[in-house]
Amino acid sequence: QVQLVESGGGLVQAGGSLRLSCAASGRVFSIKAMAWYRQAPGKQRELVAGTTSGGSTNYADSVKGRFTISRDNAKNTVYLQMNSLKPEDTAVYYCNLIVRTTTWYDDDYWGQGTQVTVSS
């Protein structure tokens, strides 16, 4: 019943910024936890940034100080602000949300992915 739609990816020059969005639609009561992953060609998917339902936030060492994960609960939307982008940030980025869909049930959903390409 929940669909995640990602947007905001594109081509950007090294040093530039992008903000990725992940909008949850459907039967969404609340977002309990959120994360952004990325997968570059020939590499395994890695966790970029994530939060827990307890409120803790973690970032991959490679993006600390440059990326920020946030959300707008009123819009059921999660964001990844990416600053000082580097060519090695080039990847398909996926949002992953744990969503409360009923008063008693949480479920795990993935976005379709959005391409981020950083040119040198």
- Of the chain, the end-to-end C-alpha distance in Å amounts to 41
Please, are residues 3 and 99 in contact by the beta-carbon 8 Å criterion?
Answer: no
Q: Percentage of residues in the chain with pLDDT exceeding 70?
A: 100
Residue with tokens 């939060």: 51
Encode pLDDT of 76-118 as tens digits: 999 999 999 999 999 999 999 999 988 888 999 999 999 999 9
| Amino acid letter, residue 4 | L
Q: Which of 85, 80, 88 is nearest to 20 (CA)?
A: 80
Write down the mean pLDDT value for the chain.
Answer: 95
CB 101 within 8 A of CB 24: no
Q: Which residue has the tokens 């929940």?
A: 2
